[in-house]
Amino acid sequence: MELSWWAHLWSVLPEIVLVLAAALMMAVDAWMPEGRKRELGYWAIGGLATALVVTAVQAAQLTGGIAAPYEAFGGSVRADLAAMLFRVIFLLAGILTVAISMDFRPLRQSGEYYTLLLISVLGMGLMGAAVNLVTLYLALETVGIALYLLAGYLRDTPRSAEAGLKYFLFGVFSSTIMLYGLALIYGFTGEIAYNRIAQALVGLPTPAVMAALLLILVGFGFKVSAVPFHFWTPDVYEGAPTPVTAFISVASKAAGFAVLIRAMIEAFPAAQGNWVAIMAALAFVTMTVGNLLAIPQRNLKRLLAYSSIAQAGYILIGVAAASPLGVAASIFYLGIYTLTNIAAFAVAVIMTNVTGSEEIRDLAGLSRRAPGLALAMLAALLSLGGIPPLVGFFAKLFVFAAAIESGLLWLAIAGVLNAMIAFYYYIMVARAMYVDRSPEEEKPVWISRPARFTLWFTVAGVLLLTVMVYPLYLLAQMAAQAF
Amino acid sequence: MTIPAVTLPLLSFIVFTPLVGALILLLIPRHQKEAARVFAATVSGFTLLLALWAFLAYDRTAGGYQFVERMSWLPQLGIHYYVGVDGVSLPLVLLSALVLFTGVLVSWNIEDRPHELFAFMLLLASGIMGVFVARNLVLLFFFYEIAIFPKYFLIAIWGSTRKEYAAMKLVLYTLVGSIIALVGALALYFISPIRTFDMDVLRELAARGAFARTVEVFGQAVRFDHLWFLPVFLGFAVTAGLWPFHNWVPDGHSAAPTAGSMFLAGVVMKVGAYSALRVGIELMPGGAVYWLPVVVFLAVVAALYSAAISLVQEDLKYVIAFSSIGHMAFVTIGFAAMNVTGLTGAVLQMFSHGVMAAILFATVGMVYDRAHTRYLAHLGGFARAMPMATLGFILGGLVAMGMPGFSGFVAEFQVFAGIWAARDTAWWYPWVAILAAPSIALSAAYILRALQATFFGELNRERYPHVGDVTALDKVAIVTLAVWFVLIGVFPRVMTDLIQVGVEPIAALLQGAMVASIR
């Protein structure tokens, strides 16, 4: 069936909006007087929100049965519900990141910063929609380059520069290895489209396919910060500007999972027996190492870095289950994790503004100093830990249920034991806020209006989604059926 | 035209009143401490009234689950918001409300962040009562986990001695137990012929032997309920303080603030026992029949060991803390009897011990507030200064000793009668009764020792020049609790009729599984 030009454009309309917004941002930046640069954040939010509305319309068409999923640009991208849902995650993460960036002191407000952010969201949207190897790689690199720059954005701070360089080196290295794997796949099959690769791989010798698959997994593993490809994570998270860390920890990870899930299910169904074992092993190692290394951390951002590694492990459980429930559980988990982790980082941003420090001990006395802020952090930590009444409970319940359903009982048990370790260090952060005392308890904490909005939005989300968990689960399930 | 009857969602009101109260409490300005206290007392008093209403309005002749509410939550996965109470859960709901109300009253004078203190207490109560009313497995675990983290803060912030250590120990113990049980519940879900977490349906399936089918583990064919009963039952029994998983109990109970100890010993341990009954025994009766005659030995050890240890404690709070392990052991022994008498005794023991532990810890807290020490050697003579608290402690002590005329006797007598009546189950059952009986004598000894050392003798006026009487609110709390001992001791049917209606189906389920296992 021949697609109209409009159908082609419609499939990537959110990305087109973002390109225009990025271009507009540079123009506005040049024209905006120095004193009013803070307002650039609202322009960025405007661009992202427009793309979000477009995505919402597309998703509504698909769920309402008005439109059917289709592939555009000669099989480069697919407009299906999974692509839309992941876009929603990226765009939401983008909006909330901008909101906590606007009054982050170390970050001098400039158009460049927001332009880079918009471009990385654009690349992520394409990552979620990519259905051939070339688009996949291009999208991945678009995101990568923008994020390397963002991580090293504080040029005057050595730690930030180091983070940018480290992220760049690790990123380039792993994406080169992945490219080699992609080339192998192309060499074996002569195809670049996922569905054709899947057909061509049937009957090929397993060792060859596995070699290529393992090389590709290096790139994906880097993106989602799975152990043993996680070494960059703590340093980059610690050094990068905190809002950028928040963004990398949620959006970049979600994008990594978007390509991982799609590539595994659409391109490598023939090797499923093998990659399920790899994913299960990755999940186990990732959550265990992440959680154990989080325990001794004294820096809040490093703690959240290891916690985000561990969270990737839980999400990998859903991938390893390789079932509709498993994929739905992973997508659901990613959505919840995005909200929750941004809430935690928003508190980190606010506290860095006030104390100039990122140490956990500087949260001491927060429950006396700013009870609402402490409560928001507590909600975020408990949701990350999977403790009800916060919606993180359901995220964990679904992945563990998926593992048991697929016969991975050992992984589910490892998962719940890991959840217990995680609870320990999350509670230790809460302990600093609630139990420890500090001489600065009387000083007020200044929270900017966009940051306040972010906190209300995310915390209300993790609370209310518990009650309204069903629609979100249904969406994730419908998206999982898209594969 | 008839007007459709609007039924009040009574149980939701009971469960969510404290939760909503906790949220509102946090909005009260920080410096208005008195307003926070009054508000917390109002909310908990209202909750108690609602619980009393449910207790009185429950139709005992009809039995079964009443005040049922059902709303879909995640229908596709068989997860519903489904609550109801029967003769087993209703006394425990009432108990939770009693402990919440009295806990607020005795915490009146705490000056450090009363807003948060009462908010955590209300949240804890909400989670606990949610467990007692939940009729869907996921909902039960949902509330069970809610009831874990507030304990950490209650102990770590407002506790004493090794509070942070004790708080973390308690939380990790109960968390590990509950998540192992959660894995068991998920396994149950996936093996069930009908994919649902609805406990009515699962119980129906269990009665028909659906979970008695064999599964393969490492090449061995084992019955599913034999395999999973033990992890699920023991996972919950951790919270009930069953030996050898009791280690959190003495530290946790002793480090907690007064209201926290009342909650821990009074209701939290019952949450564990109740869940073990509902999820372990009721959903896997085949496993219960197979394992309970063995598990009962753990309870016998717990009863003797804890009573003996209580006898030599120097810290007053540790005496009561160890005693609660022993009293909860009788609940397990009652479960193991697997007949109506034993189960009735077990449930009544939960209620009776809950009220008793609350009153003992409350009075101990009153002493500690005035003496600032809990060492028996430094105490003495407080009866003269605070007669009402002494009376409360004596009444609680009489219940602990199993004195006829009080609720403890009614409960423990039925437990013993039940285990004796079940002597066909295993040849050693009469021996269980014989072995456990000395613990009652020991409990009389440690209670009298603590009573003598704390309240009688000469008050050291040099050390305690200004010991005054307890406050009016403390007296209200003592009376609210003590009324139940005497009431049940004199008219046991107030409670036993209700409980019997609740345990009869469970006993029938177990008898059915027993017949099936013989066949």
Answer yes or no: do A473 and B149 touch at CB < 8 A: no
Residue A221 domain flag: no
pLDDT tens per residue across span A215-265: 999 999 999 999 899 999 999 999 999 999 999 999 999 999 999 999 999
Q: Number of folded domains in chain A?
A: 1
Mean pLDDT calculated for residue range B113-137:
92
Among B239, B303, B248, B250, CA closest to B276: B239
Mean pLDDT calculated for residue range B7-13:
86
Nearest chain A residue to B143 by CA distance is A388
Is pLDDT of B64 > 90? no
Q: How far apart are CA B351 and CA B334, in angstroms?
A: 13
Residue B298 contacts by C-beta under 8 Å, 6 or more apart in sequence? B242, B243, B244, B332
By the 10 Å C-beta count (0-12 exposed, 13-18 middle, 19+ buried), A20 is classed as middle
Q: How far apart are CA B416 and CA B432, in angstroms?
A: 9
Nearest chain A residue to B176 by CA distance is A420
CA angle A426, A427, A430 (to 5 degrees): 95
pLDDT tens per residue across span A352-377: 888 888 899 888 888 888 888 999 99
Answer yes or no: do A434 and B182 touch at CB < 8 A: no
Q: What's the pLDDT at A74?
A: 86
Cβ atoms of B66 and B58 within 8 Å: the answer is: yes
Q: Name the residue range of residue A388's domain.
A: 274-483
Nearest by CB to A435, from B149, B157, B172: name it: B157
Answer yes or no: do B168 and A469 touch at CB < 8 A: no
CA A405 from chain centre, in angstroms, equals 26
Q: How far is A386 from chain B (nearest CA, A)?
A: 9
DSSP B392: H
Is pLDDT of B178 > 70? yes
Q: What's the pLDDT at B2?
A: 55
| Set of chain A residues whose Cβ sits within 8 Å of the Cβ of B183 | 400, 404, 409, 412-413, 416
Q: How far apart are CA B48 and CA B56, in angstroms?
A: 12
| Set of chain A residues whose Cβ sits within 8 Å of the Cβ of B218 | none
Residue A167 domain flag: no
| Set of chain A residues whose Cβ sits within 8 Å of the Cβ of B153 | 430, 434-435
| Set of chain B residues whose Cβ sits within 8 Å of the Cβ of A394 | 74
Q: What's the pLDDT at B1?
A: 46
| Set of chain B residues whose Cβ sits within 8 Å of the Cβ of A424 | 168, 172
**pLDDT, one tens digit for every residue, chain A (483 residues):** 578 888 889 999 999 999 999 999 999 988 888 888 888 999 999 999 999 999 999 999 988 888 888 898 888 999 999 999 999 999 999 999 999 999 887 887 788 999 999 999 999 999 999 999 999 999 999 999 999 999 999 888 899 999 999 999 999 999 999 999 999 999 999 999 999 999 998 888 888 889 999 999 999 999 999 989 999 999 999 999 999 999 999 999 999 999 999 999 999 988 888 889 999 999 999 999 999 999 999 999 999 999 999 999 999 999 999 899 999 999 999 999 999 999 999 999 999 888 888 899 888 888 888 888 999 999 999 999 988 889 999 999 999 999 988 988 899 989 989 998 999 999 999 999 988 888 888 888 888 899 999 999 999 999 999 888 999 999 999 999 877
What six digits make up the tokens of B160? 């004493």
The answer to whether B30 contacts chain A (CB < 8 Å) is yes
Residue A192 has phi, psi (to 5 degrees) of -115, -20
| Set of chain B residues whose Cβ sits within 8 Å of the Cβ of A469 | 73-74
The answer to whether B159 contacts chain A (CB < 8 Å) is no
Which of B15, B136, B183 is the best residue to mutate to test the A interface, defined by the most A CB atoms within 10 Å of its own CB?
B183
3 state SS of B504:
helix
Tell me which residues of chain B, numbers 99 to 128, contact chain A at a CB-CB cutoff of 8 Å: 113, 115-116
Which of B32, B153, B163 is the best residue to mutate to test the A interface, defined by the most A CB atoms within 10 Å of its own CB?
B153
Cβ atoms of B447 and B401 within 8 Å: the answer is: yes
Number of H helices, E strands in chain B: 23, 4
Nearest by CB to B190, from A394, A405, A417: name it: A405
Answer yes or no: do B182 and A427 touch at CB < 8 A: no
Other beta carbons within 10 Å of B160: 16
Answer yes or no: do B189 and A412 touch at CB < 8 A: no
Interface residues on A facing B, Cβ-Cβ cutoff 8 A: 367-368, 371, 375, 382, 387-389, 393-394, 397, 400-401, 404-405, 409, 412-413, 416-417, 419-420, 423-424, 427, 430-431, 434-435, 469-470, 473-474, 477
Q: What's the pLDDT at B329?
A: 92
The answer to whether B157 contacts chain A (CB < 8 Å) is yes
Residue B485 contacts by C-beta under 8 Å, 6 or more apart in sequence? B352, B355, B356, B395, B396, B398, B399, B406, B407, B408
Residue A117 domain flag: no
Bridge partners of B220, per DSSP, are B217
ipTM over 0.85: yes
The answer to whether B451 contacts chain A (CB < 8 Å) is no
Q: What's the pLDDT at B450?
A: 87
Bridge partners of B72, per DSSP, are B80
Nearest chain A residue to B169 by CA distance is A424
pLDDT tens per residue across span B246-269: 888 888 888 888 888 998 888 999
pLDDT tens per residue across span A39-73: 899 999 999 999 999 999 999 998 888 888 889 88
Residue A139 domain flag: no
Mean pLDDT calculated for residue range B499-508:
90
